[in-house]
Amino acid sequence: MHRSRSLGALWPPLLLLLLLLVAATGAAGALTEDEKRAMVELHNLYRAQVSPAASNMLRMRWDPELAAFAEAYAQKCVWGHNKERGRRGENLFAITDEGMDVPLAMEEWHQEREYYNLSAAACDPGQMCGHYTQVVWGKTERIGCGSHFCETLQGVEETNIQLLVCNYEPPGNVRGQRPYQEGPPCSRCPPGYRCEDSLCEPTTGLGEAQDFPLRVTEVPPTTATSKTSAEAPDKPGWKTQQSSGHAWSPFPGLWLLLPPLLLAGFF
Ligand SMILES: *[C@@H]1O[C@H](CO)[C@@H](O)[C@H](O)[C@H]1NC(C)=O
């Protein structure tokens, strides 16, 4: 503390502010290592907890190349799906002012489970389920996300928005497929995979542990209290086409969080 005084009267507060900013959002709003870790762990937490249980849910791991791809797109500050994402799944989230909030983004995406009926493989009319189904897409094994602070975000009137882009491989939301196969956890893991905490993970080769050691980050409390049931709501309306990995829909569901209201963006 005394050392910083020698830097001059202005320095300590400036330095502190800078440190806080960097700690909160990373440079230019990039995700911190902790945030990346939390992103992977929250995905795997939600994946391990699906109800009904999944027989073939793979463990997701961080993919630096996907992350670089997502980051590059986030830096373009466009509110809409990346048309050049190829065979990659994609979830977007935007929040104003407070900076990126990974657990909140995950919660928003995950809460769509209330509208999704696995046995019917259908989303309730007028609702979005595509974020949820990507999060719990059993065959999706790699995730990479990028975040960027956008003073202006194309397609949105609000300014100073923190944009989050997550890309997934293999992509979820493939038409005609369910996110996962129901059954006892891990009862249908692919060959070469073993069961760990209700998720299938490779016995050899690349494991998530190489990128992010497990249990380094505590799971934020907000996620521990996820609702347990998947009730079927009764909202009337038209049936939403869900966004998909390569055969993507004309209505990619996007979330934009504007305090204090949560707005669903239909594009
Ligand atoms: C889900 O869909 C199936 C098949 O259409 C239906 O029988 C079931 O009642 C639905 N579940 C809920 C919770 O609505």
Measured CA to CA in angstroms, residue 81 lies from 76, 88, 91 at distances of 11, 11, 8
What is the structure's pLDDT at 216? 34
Ligand 1 binding pocket includes 117 (Cβ within 6 Å): yes
Ligand 1 pocket test: pick from 114, 116, 119, 234 the residue with the most ligand atoms within 8 Å of its Cβ. 119
Phi, psi of 239 (to 5 degrees): -85, 125
Ligand 1 binding pocket includes 121 (Cβ within 6 Å): no
What is the structure's pLDDT at 154? 95
Whole-number Å distance, alpha carbon 45 to ligand 1 midpoint, is 25
Ligand 1 binding pocket includes 232 (Cβ within 6 Å): yes
| Closest ligand 1 atom to 118 CA | 1
Ligand 1 binding pocket includes 152 (Cβ within 6 Å): no
pLDDT in tens, the chain (267 residues): 344 344 445 556 666 665 665 555 455 789 999 999 999 999 999 999 999 999 999 999 999 999 999 999 999 999 999 999 999 999 999 998 678 999 999 999 999 999 999 999 999 999 999 999 999 999 999 999 999 999 999 999 999 999 999 999 999 999 989 999 999 999 999 999 999 999 999 997 654 444 444 333 333 333 222 222 222 222 222 122 223 232 233 333 344 443 322 333 332
Q: Which residues pair with 92 in a beta bridge?
A: 165
**How far does CA 5 lie from the centroid of its chain?**
42
What is the structure's pLDDT at 181? 97
pTM of the model: 0.71
Ligand 1 pocket test: pick from 113, 115, 117, 235 the residue with the most ligand atoms within 8 Å of its Cβ. 117
193 contact partners, CB below 8 Å, separation of at least 6: 58, 200, 201, 202, 203
